[in-house]
């Protein structure tokens, strides 16, 4: 998201705000008077649970802690609510709704009417319920697939900080290094942590085949090979193909429970037993081999599922390559509660 800012204290000098967001726990916020790197005023990074600032007089970054960290996280959450409003578990009356932020406090959204899908105001409240920062007089651009902010005012308590005009909102790819200062790029995630990535699951067509209760990774993969060999020639006359990846659905104990055959492309007419599966949000963690599919990895994924959303069964996917290290992606998708 890129915006032009007019500060109340200096309305004759336009500034630029750029924000990058990836899921719940990766964010980058830059404010300057021109292109990035020129007359930088503010730069914040969030990478998972860590928050950094880049000093204006040095290339060395500083990691926030305590109240300073909480303040930066709250500011990033307020910005995320503008772009990912539907990802929060909003509760309350029709015209005023709140979303809990755990130890940080909460967000409050105020609407003009019960029919509105987006609020006119979003405020951050500290744990004592006091309003700190708020986005007011929000105007929404509803011309696209989902509403995005077009203009707003940023307030701190009862003092207006700036007027903001949004220039563009567009998707981009997720790269973890984009959310770390340059002097921190060599650092690895902490021991015992799992690298979780946002990986939306688009609509597809598939058929599920149940596995025996005592199925193992080896037997499940052999059954996948057998089913692929059986179905590939059955699909060929219709011009359909199976995708070149393996998929196994797992039970809650992470044991293989279903072989899933997916079509490489959607078709208007589906073969026997194949069904369309609607697109969903999903998170995944890459693992070096099937033996790394462990409960800790699944817990890390469940922590990223929004409150109130309905998570599906975990599943694994991998490239069907004849040789090489077998990297497996453990995934968990969800749908929003109606």
- What is the per-residue pLDDT for 149? 96
- What is the per-residue pLDDT for 338? 56
Q: What's the rounded Cα separation, in Å, for the pair 223 and 280? A: 27
Evaluate the CA torsion angle 335, 80, 3, 30 in order and state its sign: negative
Phi, psi of 255 (to 5 degrees): -100, 145
What mean pLDDT do residues 123-127 have? 95
**Buried-exposed string 120-136: b where 16+ CB fall within 10 A, e elsewhere:** bbbbbbbeeeeebbbbe
What mean pLDDT do residues 67-94 have? 91
What domains are there in the chain, each with its CATH number? 2-184 (2.50.20), 197-335 (3.20.80.10)
Residues near 68 by beta carbon (within 8 Å), at least 6 away in sequence:
none
Q: What's the rounded Cα separation, in Å, for the pair 21 and 196? A: 14
Q: Pick the residue with more confidence: 35 or 275?
A: 275
Number of CB atoms found within 10 A of residue 185's CB: 9
Q: Pick the residue with more confidence: 41 or 3?
A: 3
Tell me the pTM: 0.56
- What is the per-residue pLDDT for 192? 46
31-40, 53-62, 77-86, 299-308: the lowest-pLDDT one:
31-40
- What is the per-residue pLDDT for 309? 84
Q: What's the rounded Cα separation, in Å, for the pair 264 and 42? A: 45
The pair of structure tokens assigned to 96 is 């005023």
Please give the sequence-ordered ranges of beta strands (E in DSSP) within 115-158, or none if there are none: 121-125, 131-141, 148-156
Q: Pick the residue with more confidence: 197 or 223?
A: 223
- What is the per-residue pLDDT for 147? 92
What mean pLDDT do residues 40-60 have? 81
- Per-residue pLDDT reduced to its tens digit, 282-309: 889 888 888 888 888 898 898 888 877 8
Number of CB atoms found within 10 A of residue 50's CB: 18
Please choose, from the candidates 281, 307, 305, 301, the residue with its C-alpha nearest in 3D space to the C-alpha of residue 102. Answer: 307
Which pLDDT band, with edges at 50, 70 and 90, does 58 fall under? Answer: low
3-12, 91-100, 205-214, 329-338: the lowest-pLDDT one:
329-338
């Amino acid at each position: 998201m890129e915006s032009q800012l007019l500060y109340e204290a200096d309305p004759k000098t336009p500034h630029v705000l750029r924000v990058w967001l990836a899921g719940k726990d990766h964010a980058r916020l830059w404010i300057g008077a021109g292109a990035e790197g020129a007359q930088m005023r503010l730069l914040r990074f969030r990478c998972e649970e860590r928050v950094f600032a880049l000093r204006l007089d040095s290339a060395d970054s500083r990691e926030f802690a305590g109240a300073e960290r909480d303040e930066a996280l709250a500011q990033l959450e307020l910005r995320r609510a503008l772009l990912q409003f539907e990802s929060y578990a909003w509760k309350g009356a029709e015209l005023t709704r709140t979303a809990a932020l755990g130890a940080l406090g909460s967000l409050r959204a105020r609407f003009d009417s019960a029919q509105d899908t987006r609020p006119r105001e979003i405020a951050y409240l500290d744990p004592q319920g006091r309003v700190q920062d708020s986005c007011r007089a929000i105007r929404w651009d509803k011309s696209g697939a989902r509403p995005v902010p077009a203009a707003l005012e940023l307030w701190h308590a009862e003092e207006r900080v700036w007027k903001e005009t949004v220039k563009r909102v567009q998707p981009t790819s997720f790269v973890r290094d984009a959310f770390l200062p340059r002097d921190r790029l060599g650092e690895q995630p902490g021991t015992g942590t799992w690298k979780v990535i946002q990986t939306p699951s688009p609509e597809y067509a598939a058929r599920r085949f149940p596995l025996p209760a005592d199925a193992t990774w080896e037997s499940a993969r052999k059954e996948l090979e057998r089913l692929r060999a059986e179905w590939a020639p059955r699909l060929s006359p219709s011009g359909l193909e199976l995708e070149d990846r393996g998929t196994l659905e797992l039970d809650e104990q992470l044991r293989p429970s279903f072989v899933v055959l997916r079509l490489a492309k959607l078709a208007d007419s589906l073969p026997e037993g194949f069904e369309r599966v609607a697109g969903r949000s999903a998170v995944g963690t890459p693992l070096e081999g099937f033996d790394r599919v462990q409960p800790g990895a699944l817990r890390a994924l469940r922590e990223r599922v929004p409150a109130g959303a309905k998570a599906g069964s975990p599943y694994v996917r991998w490239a069907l390559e004849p040789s090489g290290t077998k990297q497996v992606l453990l995934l968990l998708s969800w749908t929003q509660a109606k």
